């Protein structure tokens, strides 16, 4: 179980590359008691959402392809792309050297518990996915 | 008019009302649904009066309108509600303290109280149902 402010702080640190490398900005921050937390980043064509249902221990990271600037229906799997799904598609296309370089970028972080480890793993995967976003066959 | 063998009771009405709400029917529709089955719902005049008064109350409250969105996975619920002007979701959960079990219990009670209030308020309950992409079912949605 993690405090909402702590969650937001960790996400902002691990996913800071979204702002510096991919031109996203934070569009939404939700802390609903200690029940549900979410941070959403947005740029001109897509949004990245990193949310966590605390009691359920349900971490969700997904990319939404904007439709005329609007978020698509969450259940539209062609427009709402969950990280685990797209990660499976791109992993086979990436050489080990690139994966190592990507891991090195995140070496500066030291996750302290299971959730932080999950968040860091998601951040690593997301960075690779966004770099190869155009190659992803949806 | 035929007289049914079983009397209508408030718990019975509540159960019927709840069932219809989960099918996203408006309270007005609920009234019609119950009324159609009224011959099976009461056995004497006083029961009928109670039942009709209760239904009128539901209809009156329904006039206030508004939609409450529920469903599995908060991301879905938040985003669905954002597209419905004036809609409401469970976004007022307090910050509970205690052990993990105590917090879960308090959240569950809070969630249950909230959904009951929403149902009694006469607002339309929009249930966006299960998240097909989710592997573990939400205990909170199951309760709702």
Residues A22-52 have pLDDT tens digits of 999 999 999 999 999 999 999 999 999 999 9
Contact: A74, B94; criterion CB under 8 Å: no
Q: How far apart are the first and last CA of chain A?
A: 34
The token duo for A70 is 């609007």
- How far CA A32 is from CA of A36, B89, B139, in Å, comes to 5, 11, 17
Contact: B134, A1; criterion CB under 8 Å: no
Size of interface A-B (CB pairs under 8 A): 65
Contacts of B140 in chain A (CB under 8 A): 55-56
**Among the listed residues A13, A12, A68, A22, the one whose alpha carbon sits nearest the alpha carbon of residue A42:** A22
User: What does the radius of gyration of chain A's CA atoms come to, in whole angstroms?
Assistant: 15
The token duo for B19 is 């069932």
DSSP B81: H
**Among the listed residues A2, A55, A16, A85, the one whose alpha carbon sits nearest the alpha carbon of residue B106:** A55
| Cβ neighbourhood burial of B141 (10 Å; 0-12, 13-18, 19+) | buried
pTM of the predicted protein model: 0.76
Q: What is the mean pLDDT of residues A99-120?
A: 97
Question: pLDDT digits over B41-58, tens only?
Answer: 333 333 333 333 333 333
Top residue of A6, A36, A62, A67 to mutate, by most chain B CBs within 10 Å, is A36
**What is the rounded CA–CA span in Å between residue B64 and residue B69?**
16
Contact: A30, B82; criterion CB under 8 Å: no
B92 has a chain A CB within 8 A of its CB: yes
Res A96: pLDDT: 92
Helix axis angle for B45-62 and B27-36, nearest 10°, is 160
Contact: A62, B80; criterion CB under 8 Å: no
Contacts of A51 in chain B (CB under 8 A): 74-75
Domain ranges (residues) in chain B: 10-62, 67-143
Res B101: pLDDT: 95
Contact: A33, B73; criterion CB under 8 Å: no
pLDDT in tens, chain B (144 residues): 443 433 333 343 343 334 333 333 333 323 222 333 333 333 333 333 333 333 333 333 334 579 999 999 999 999 999 999 999 999 999 999 999 999 999 999 999 999 999 999 999 999 999 999 998 999 999 999
Question: Per-residue DSSP letters for A57-69?
Answer: TEEEEEEEE-BTT
Res B64: pLDDT: 57
């Amino acid at each position: 179980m993690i405090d909402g402010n702590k969650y937001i702080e960790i996400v902002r640190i691990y996913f800071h590359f979204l702002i510096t490398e991919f031109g996203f900005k934070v569009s939404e921050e939700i802390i609903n008691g200690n029940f549900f937390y979410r941070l959403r980043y947005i740029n001109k064509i897509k949004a990245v959402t990193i949310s966590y249902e605390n009691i359920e221990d349900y971490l969700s990271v997904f990319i939404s392809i904007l439709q005329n600037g609007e978020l698509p229906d969450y259940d539209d799997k062609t427009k709402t792309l969950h990280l685990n799904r797209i990660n499976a598609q791109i992993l086979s296309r990436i050489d080990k050297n690139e994966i190592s370089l990507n891991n090195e970028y995140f070496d500066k972080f030291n996750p302290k518990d299971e959730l932080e480890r999950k968040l860091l793993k998601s951040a690593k995967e997301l960075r690779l996915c966004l770099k190869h976003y155009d190659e992803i066959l949806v | 008019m035929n007289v049914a063998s079983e009397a209508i009771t408030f718990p019975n009405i509540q159960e019927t009302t709840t069932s219809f709400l989960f099918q996203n029917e408006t309270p007005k529709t609920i009234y019609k649904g119950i009324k159609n089955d009224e011959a099976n719902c009461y056995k004497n005049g006083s029961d009928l009066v109670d039942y009709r008064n209760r239904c009128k109350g539901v209809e009156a409250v329904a006039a206030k309108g508004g939609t409450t969105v529920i469903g599995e996975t908060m991301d879905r619920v938040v985003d669905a509600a954002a597209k419905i002007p004036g809609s409401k979701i469970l976004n007022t959960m307090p910050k509970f303290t205690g052990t993990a079990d105590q917090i879960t219990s308090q959240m569950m009670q809070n969630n249950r109280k909230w959904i009951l209030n929403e149902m009694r308020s006469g607002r339309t309950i929009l249930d966006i149902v299960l998240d097909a992409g989710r592997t573990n079912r939400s205990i909170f949605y199951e309760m709702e």
